[in-house]
Each structure stands twice: as C-alpha cells, then as structure tokens.
Structure 1
Amino acid sequence: MTRDGGLEQTRPTGRDRARGLVSSRASGRRVEARTYAPPKDLQDLVEGFWIGAWDLRGQPPHTTELIGDPAIHLCFEAGTGRIVGVWTHLWIRTLEGRGRVRAVKLRPGAARAFLPGPASAYSDRITPLEQVFDATRALIASVLEPTEERAFGALAAWLRAQRRDDEDVARAVKLVASLRGSGLNRVDALARRAGLSVRSLQRLFRDHVGASPKQVMRWVRLQEVALRVEAGEVIELASLAYQLGYADQAHLARDFRAVTGKTPRGFEASIDRLPGGPLQPGDRGPKPAP
C-alpha cells in the first residue's frame, strides 16, 4: 500500500496460503483471500492488510484450522471491530453462509505500539474494539467501505494516530523476526542473543508479543513443518526434525499432533485424499484471488 492509498497486493506468507493452515488445501479454495502491503511508514510494525471472503450459501459449512501465530489482528466484519489476540492453541473457525472480513495483521511484538496494556491481556481472546478505544463507530464504518483502497486508507490513518514508538517494541519485533529460519529452540540461547536475562526476555515477550519465547519458538517450527509437508517437500521426517532442533522424529510428530490433532504423516495423508493430491515441489498452489 502506498502513502496515497494505492494497494499493492502481496502473496500470503505460506506459499500462497495462510502460514500454518492445517485444515486442508480446500481451505484455499473455499475462502477467497487477498493480502496487501502496508504503507512504507507502517511496515516496521504492520505485517499487512488482508481480506477473507466466502460464499457458502447452499453448501456445507467450512472449518478452517490454523496453527497459532504470534501476531495480533484487528478484524472488521459485519459492522463490528475486534482485536484478535495471539492464539496459544489451534485456531478453529467454522464459516457458513456469506461473509467478508477486512483486517490488519500487526507484526509479532508490535502490539504495544498500537494497543494499551500488555499484549498478554489480549491473548486467547477476541476483544470488541469499543472496549479498548473510544469513538470506534466512524473507524468501523470507514473500514467496511465498499472500496478496499478507502477502507485500508482509513485503517492506516487510524494506526498512524495510535502509533507509539518505543525501544522495547522495536526489540521485540526484531527478536521474533529473527527466530524464523534460525533453528533456535532454547530460551536461554535467545536471551544471550538479545543480551537479556531469561526473566527479562520472558517479560519482554509477555508485554509485547503476548506469548512466551518458548511458545513462539514452537509455533515457528510447527508452521514450518506444516508448510514443508503441504508443499510436498518432506521426504525424511528425521532430517526435518534435526533441522528444526527436535530431539528426533518421534518428538516432532508428538509435538505436531499435540497442537493439530494429527501427525505430519496424517496431515500428508489428508492432503493426498483431496482432489488433485499433494502439491509437488515448486508448485505454488492456488493463486491468490485477483
């Protein structure tokens, strides 16, 4: 998104689908999803704007399942605005009928730049926006405008007005971003990297992320497992377990099942049963909606 309101569409973070989606590839076919880059002056704290839309009239309801993500979303739907906090377990939502959501995804660690109180106060909760901010009716009406440019332009302006820059916010955002692809799986190692004591690191994550460092490390690894399996890239789970810092293949499988209810191979088999079978290496899957 440019400063003057023009929208720049981006690819979802999970190879053309939501990162950590474990319900099925059908989730990418029954829900239209688009993501947009935030304005440049918000990119350090905002990961992006997104839209989800569905029309299941005359069809069975559809359940979407996502591995928890250490990010807070502000979601606008059906005349309401809600703060969706960091989810520390599997996110499950059943969609039916017809609907549309417009939302902004904050960067993990950026919560206190825009929201009052510690990020942990919003964890595992969906909080009505009007419980936290005054005079939200105009914002909600603007974000639900017919045109996406005007809707996200209004949301960007509101975020600028709320923004509070802070060294700890910047530190938290940087630390969480550094975990992806790092192979780190020990809290004490992350604390040393940050130059903090373990207790100070835990307090930083509680206040600015909304989850513990251990939980965030776990999500990063499990999301990577889901992405690799869904993309058809996993041949040897033992090798993947080693790459991601698990003790062994059994440890990886237990951890994945504890969160998703299925093992990596069980998830792979559920993909195989879908029309079209699993994605092949290099196949980016269904394209984002235009």
Structure 2
Amino acid sequence: MTASARSLGAGVLHPGTAATRFSLNRHRPPEDLAPFVDFCWVVRWDLRGEPAHEQAILPHPNVNLAFEAGGPAVYGIDRRVFARKISGAGAVLGIRFRPGGFRPFYSAGKISTLNDLVVPAGDIFGPTADRACTAVLAAASSDEAMIAAGAGLLRAAGPRPDPVIDQVAAIVDRITADPGLRRVASLADVFGLPERRLQRLFAEYVGVSPKWVMRRARLHEAALCADAGGNVDWAALATDLGYADQAHLTRDFTATLGVPPSRYAAEGR
C-alpha cells in the first residue's frame, strides 16, 4: 500500500497502521456537484493471504454515499466510532457530502433521521442506484471512471441549489477551524441567528447539533495530535481545546474512543 499516514487525514484512527493496510485517495467533486459534495474518496486494499483488518473511524458531520460490493448505501452521521473490517481485495467509491449537502437528495425528512443508520441507496435514489453501483465497480481500475459513474446518479436526482447549504457549511467550517469554541450562543451571535433557529437548521440540514460538532471537532484535534507522534502535553492541549482541565479531555476522549488519549497515542506508536 502506498498511502501515507498524512494522506489519510483526520477521521481515520491510527493512520500510520491504516496506511499499511489500504490506500485512500481523495478527489475534488465534479464542478456541477461541488455545491453539494465535499469530496469523493476511493479506498483500495489487497489483503489476500494476510489477516483481515478492522479500521476504526471517528466520523465527521457529513453524510456519505458508498458504492461497494455489498451494494450502494447511504451512511448517516454515526455518533459513535465507526468500525469496518476489510479482507481479501476490493475497492470502494465514496461520496462525502458537505454539511447540509445531502438535504436536496433526501425528501423523507430531516437529515437527523439518518443518524447512526446505513440505508440502502435504492431506498432514496430508486433502482438507478444499483445500476450506478454496477457501473462504479466495473470501473474499479480508475478513480476518475468510478467517480464519473457515481456522479451520474447524483445528477439524475436533479438536486436544486439551496443557499442554506452554504450557510450551515460555513457554520461547521467555523467550528472546525476553532476546536476550542465551546458555546452555541457565541456561535449563533457570530452568524446573527437566534440559537433556537441554529439548532433547527442543524437538525434539518446537518443531522447533529452544533454542540455535537464542537465536541467532535475537539476530539478530532486531540486524535490528530496523538497520531502525530512525540510527547503530547495533554494538559496544555486540553486548555487549547477549551476543556476545563485535562481530566475533562480524558473523560470525553475515553467515552468516545474507548481508551484514554495517552493510551491511544501509545498504541499508535
């Protein structure tokens, strides 16, 4: 495998180990789908003759559409650590939507109704989803060809531009740019929105609350620091991330990732 730990980026836990088990390439979306799509990703692995690998992922506040051998599926925001086991050889195309970007494709209700669920894509896009998946997997030797086949499904859905997507995506960007941000009221003031309106927008478009996004941004930053190697001053990091003290960071990290941050860092080394 040739992917570097750095290319795997935030979200993939213990990326140094992950890079030896599979490759992950990210691509900008086709220009006409950029209002809705954050990026496209392709994972490839060849573990034939080797043990299966289980990869843990700390999800972001994004809905994903995946085209894989088991069929196409829409992955709502998983509020826990997500684990996936791979074995043999294979490839998957994923489309990660911008925060709020899946709303024009989902007529069944608020995006929050997808939380912690994996929904067959045919339930949302109809029978064309399975045909698109067949085309994607038939093009598995080329990232570009896979993306082109997957993009066709989104175009056929005819999504309409929605200015609210830009609004909520900008709010999420503001949170992730400052993992130390702690108060939803302060965030609402920055964007000139009543706090209750902000909460409703996130439930309908993003799927999770602003507070959840803030907490997850802090954990992503803590995991990145741990994965970077070297000694981490956890007390200083806790302060930088807006925690009252190191104990609060440790409790939050342990409750979500299952191990304290110092142990997580040691496991990575």
The one-letter amino acid paired with 1:151 is M
- Of 204-213 and 133-142, deviating more is 133-142
Are the equivalent residues in 2 in contact too, given 1:109–1:208 (CA < 8 A)? yes
1:175 aligns with 2:152: no
The one-letter amino acid paired with 1:171 is Q
- Once superposed, what is the RMSD of the aligned Cα atoms? 2.0
Give the direction of change, closer, same or farther, for the CA distance of 1:118–1:233 in structure 2 (3 Å limit).
farther
Superposition deviation, residue 158 in structure 1: 3.1
Residue of structure 2 in register with 1:253 after alignment: 250
Structure with the higher fraction of residues in helix conformation? 2
238, 241, 260: which one aligns with 2:238: 241
- Of 150-159 and 76-85, deviating more is 150-159
1:197 aligns with 2:189: no
Q: 1:77, 1:86 → 2: CA distance?
A: 18
Superposition deviation, residue 161 in structure 1: 3.9
Are the equivalent residues in 1 in contact too, given 2:14–2:227 (CA < 8 A)? no
1:155 aligns with 2:146: no
Flag structure 2 segments of 5+ consecutive residues without an equivalent. none
Flag structure 1 segments of 5+ consecutive residues without an equivalent. 1-10, 273-290
Q: 1:89, 1:249 → 2: CA distance?
A: 22
Superposition deviation, residue 262 in structure 1: 1.1
Residue of structure 1 in register with 2:37 after alignment: 46
Paired residues for 1:82-93 under 5 Å:
82-93=73-84
3-state DSSP class of the match of 2:39?
Answer: strand
Scaled by the length of structure 1, the TM-score of the pair is 0.83
Bigger relative contact order (CA 8 A; separation at least 6): 1
Superposition deviation, residue 172 in structure 1: 1.0
3-state DSSP class of the match of 1:30?
Answer: coil
Are the equivalent residues in 1 in contact too, given 2:36–2:97 (CA < 8 A)? yes
3-state DSSP class of the match of 2:10?
Answer: coil
Q: 2:124, 2:116 → 1: CA distance?
A: 16
3-state DSSP class of the match of 1:138?
Answer: helix
Q: What percentage of aligned pairs have identical amino acids? A: 37
1:126 aligns with 2:148: no
The one-letter amino acid paired with 1:53 is R
1:29 aligns with 2:20: yes
Superposition deviation, residue 76 in structure 1: 0.5
Q: 1:35, 1:140 → 2: CA distance?
A: 19
Residue of structure 1 in register with 2:49 after alignment: 58
The one-letter amino acid paired with 1:138 is R
Are the equivalent residues in 2 in contact too, given 1:119–1:207 (CA < 8 A)? yes
Superposition deviation, residue 24 in structure 1: 5.6
